Structure 1
Amino acid sequence: MKIAAITGISPNVIAELKKGKPRTLELQSAHNIITLTDVLPGDHVFMTHIDLDDVCSGDPGIIVEVLSITINMKRMVEYINPYYYEEKERMSARIQVKYVDNTIAKGVDGRYWAKPTVVDILPSAVFHAG
């Protein structure tokens, strides 16, 4: 199963998500924002603490469900003395996610600039009796 991958997430954030409550994350890494441009609410996403350059087959992560997503641009103007000012733009993505399951990456696609990162994951082997 291939799904979008968000990389470089703090292990503390992943541990907090595993408790089961929805959490909102603000992401500013360009590669993660590019990946999120193809994600809609209701989609599943692979999250791992491993950096994009190091993600490979066999790396652990979690699957989360995206509850909401917002990508926006912030403009800031900084004045220094009356003759100098600097304008900055910062793009960020806010996503609210909920933990679904643990998983392992089987393969990684899209480590190229301006391409979403996609990971092939192992399907869950959890069965519920009922």
Structure 2
Amino acid sequence: MADFPAPAEGIVLTHFLVSDDVDRSRAFYTEVLGGEALMDGEPTIVALANSWIIINTGGGPTDDKPSITLEAPHDLDRVSAFLNIRVADIAAVYADWSAKGAQFLTEPIDRGPEIRCYLRDPDGHLIEVGQSRR
């Protein structure tokens, strides 16, 4: 089992995703992408490769973020951040994740120094999958 993302020293980087359906997103990140659920419920924490994904529902302002509302993406053509997953064999990952239900925007495209493609999670969060050729 992966370690819970609570460092004894230093820092740990996690990625927080707002989901309209936390169980559906947990299933995507564990069953399709191969992560390991460390905690279920709200929040859900999934260990994925050498990082962690925290999945929770959105909500309105709180005293520590007084003007901020968290919500899942609503305009899928406008993105300000996305997950970037680097893989050793993009063809194998594309075939495996596609067979498990991942919906890629395109097949992997050779860009010279890298081969890459994109997919979305069930809430519409964009994920880049790339293989370096350097």
Same fold by TM-score greater than 0.5: no
> In proportion to residue count, which structure has more strand?
1
Larger Rg: 1
Please give the TM-score of this superposition, normalised by the length of structure 1: 0.27
Please give the TM-score of this superposition, normalised by the length of structure 2: 0.26
